Structure 1
Amino acid sequence: MLSVSNLSVDYGSTRVVDKLNLALADDEILMLVGPTGCGKTTILQALAGLIPISEGEITLGAWSASAQKPVPPEKRNVGMVFQDFALFPHLTVQQNVNFRLKDRALADHWIELLGLGALRHAKPATLSGGQKQRVALARTLAHEPVFILLDEPLSNLDAALKDNLRWEIRNALKAAGVPAIWVTHDQEEALSVGDRVGVLKSGKLEQLDTPETCFSEPSSRFVARFLGEASFIPGHLEQGRVRTAIGDAPGTPVDGATGAVDLLLRPDDVSLIPVADGGGNGEIAWVRYEGGARLFAVTLDDGTEVKVRASHETRAEPGSRVQLAVITTHPLAVFNRE
């Protein structure tokens, strides 16, 4: 099990990572997300031993690293997968995966499992982005690391490739049975692939939990906004239900919220019906076509803006009147009124 206790990293007088605590099960995938500059890549570099830590301890199996007793990268047996693939251009797929490897059977195993068998003798210049990333992953797994760090491995790929490849990588990591920390800027990727999600803000973990909990029960407004479209509407919480201008909903208080509160709404928690003759309870501010759906921003009569996702068959132009209603039946996060 990988264990990180009170890990801090300073760049000069600036603290970039502040008292990070986490533990990973033997085959767990943790997704780290957060805005640019929040410390995601710094955490990976510290875990790999590429930069010194200022405080805390990293423990995995036979070794334990601290500021006073650092462990060099070559002694940690960590595998790393980068966004730029880091393949040797003059070597074939087989040679890249075999590089500095004693047991060639392991290379063959991962080459076949990741669908690279027909490309053994190809060089990186002839491969697609997705194929290059599979080669990089096969090389990492063939060396039997005790844990794996992935630094935005899909960021350089076309959107069409990302969906399938994220599941190929997840399945390969699960087959290898090693813990992995995967840094991404893609919230959908984080929520769909990870066993748990860690949301970082200014070097600190705002929340570390299952994807569903982080999304539906965020620990702060920051987490709520970062993991998808979030609208907050005023309401009153009493006996587990929140009364709002567009209907009632069951509520889960955050930090003891009670009385006058703000209710977190996701775009799918609300229905939208166009109305005529000046009726309704809001006005369309803007609309975005998403293919299978449309995302509407609606300004309610009290001035609150609510985002609503509806079928692509629902049509309403900016300036037109609509009727919104809360339709969810599951509890929604409730925050103290700002």
Structure 2
Amino acid sequence: MASLDITLSNGLRDVRLELTLEVGSETVALVGPSGAGKSSILRAIAGLLRPDEGCIALDGTPWLDTASGVDVPPENRSVGLVFQEYALFPHLSVRANVAFGATNPSLVDEILERLRIGGLAGERPGRLSGGERQRVALARAIAREPAVLLLDEPLSALDAHTRDAVRGELRELLASLRLPTILVTHDFEDAASLADRVGVMVEGRLLQIGTASALVAAPADPFVARFTGATLLHGIAQPGRDGLTRVVLDVGGVAFTTDVGVGRVAVAVHPWEVAVSRTAPEDATVNHIEAPIDSLVTIGNRVRIRVGPLAGEITAGSAERLGLREGDTVVASFKATAARLIHLA
């Protein structure tokens, strides 16, 4: 199995990037805010940025080793790079764009057909849609027959409708290639859909890495929890009863969780774990907050709702049956098993 090993230390504008990461024949998504160092990692791997210190090696062969002076030039690194804005040559046809730098020009038409753009071979990039340009950029990267694939915000330039369709196509492509692939994005949904593992970066540090479901189930940091879409309720944890931890919330009231902890904590609750009703649950260990509805937003057959500090997502049918309106006082509840505890310093 191919393995890309990365150790980097580099000063950025406001922070220092420190990273140690191993990527096998898989897709790893790096997510986080702007300035976290995500794109700098791609540039260092591609040879477009020389870090202050570090080592980058593919299957044990170094592309970069600042200690020994190794620095393989970009054109000699087996990397396929898809830039955020695709960086296609406007004066060249689709076929010529893909053929540029291809290791085997005879395979260009096969790659175009694979990415469903064979019929656009003679077109110029300016006449293509966003989704079509994205496919051309991917085709050009693949035509290099790279050992490593790097994707910098590959879906950010697409509208919502096109993004959903292209996300599915890209997921199938990455699964079939099984190359060491690093994908940079601001969008957790993109990362969760496309990557085998997701790494959350903030201020040059990798806070947590794991499968998307693992990050949701056990966020190690408040930022990770928020990035996965959770609401955070801060409070003080103390031993409860029946094996539950009792959290006295800053906003008032008490929440119970099956997680164990004491002291200052945050309780992370994801929207799909929140139920909405007109009356409080009879089970005292089912957490609930009674408050007016601050907002209701219908998206397809789902309704996003905010009740006091809690954000929930329920079906449109449920919202209609309950006759929900903004300003109505309702009860938002979630089970103790759905409350994830994050310990705060």
Return the TM-score normalized by structure 2.
0.85
- Residue matched to 1:53: 51
Inter-partner Cα distance in structure 1 for 2:101 and 2:34: 35
* Cα deviation 1:239-264 (Å, max 9, x = unaligned): 7533465764432x5xxx33675422
Q: Secondary structure at the match of 1:307?
A: strand
- Residue matched to 2:268: 264
Inter-partner Cα distance in structure 2 for 1:298 and 1:140: 46
Deviation at 1:337, TM superposition (A): 6.3
Do residues 283 (structure 1) and 291 (structure 2) align?
Answer: yes
- Residue matched to 1:22: 21
Deviation at 1:147, TM superposition (A): 0.5
- Residue matched to 2:333: 325
- Residue matched to 2:5: 3
Do residues 334 (structure 1) and 341 (structure 2) align?
Answer: yes
Deviation at 1:310, TM superposition (A): 2.0
Inter-partner Cα distance in structure 2 for 1:298 and 1:240: 28
Q: Secondary structure at the match of 1:181?
A: strand
Q: How does 1:89-168 map to 2 (within 5 A)?
A: 89-168=90-169
The answer to whether the Cα contact below 8 Å between 1:29 and 1:181 also exists between their aligned partners in 2 is yes
For structure 2, the 5+ residue unaligned runs are: 248-252, 281-287
- Residue matched to 2:201: 200
Inter-partner Cα distance in structure 1 for 2:257 and 2:12: 46
- Residue matched to 2:42: 44
Deviation at 1:217, TM superposition (A): 0.8
Task: From the superposition, tell whether residues 100 and 231 of structure 1 become closer, same or farther in structure 2 (CA, over 3 Å).
Answer: closer
Deviation at 1:36, TM superposition (A): 1.3
Q: Secondary structure at the match of 2:214?
A: helix
Inter-partner Cα distance in structure 1 for 2:90 and 2:101: 16
Do residues 295 (structure 1) and 304 (structure 2) align?
Answer: yes
Deviation at 1:183, TM superposition (A): 0.6
Task: From the superposition, tell whether residues 233 and 142 of structure 1 become closer, same or farther in structure 2 (CA, over 3 Å).
Answer: same
Deviation at 1:50, TM superposition (A): 0.8
Return the TM-score normalized by structure 1.
0.86
For structure 1, the 5+ residue unaligned runs are: 300-304
Q: How does 1:163-174 map to 2 (within 5 A)?
A: 163-174=164-175
The answer to whether the Cα contact below 8 Å between 2:171 and 2:193 also exists between their aligned partners in 1 is no
Inter-partner Cα distance in structure 1 for 2:129 and 2:213: 33
Over the matched positions of the two proteins, sequence identity in percent amounts to 36
Task: From the superposition, tell whether residues 243 and 126 of structure 1 become closer, same or farther in structure 2 (CA, over 3 Å).
Answer: same
The answer to whether the Cα contact below 8 Å between 2:103 and 2:145 also exists between their aligned partners in 1 is no
Deviation at 1:119, TM superposition (A): 1.5
Inter-partner Cα distance in structure 1 for 2:254 and 2:316: 22
Deviation at 1:236, TM superposition (A): 4.2
The answer to whether the Cα contact below 8 Å between 2:55 and 2:62 also exists between their aligned partners in 1 is no
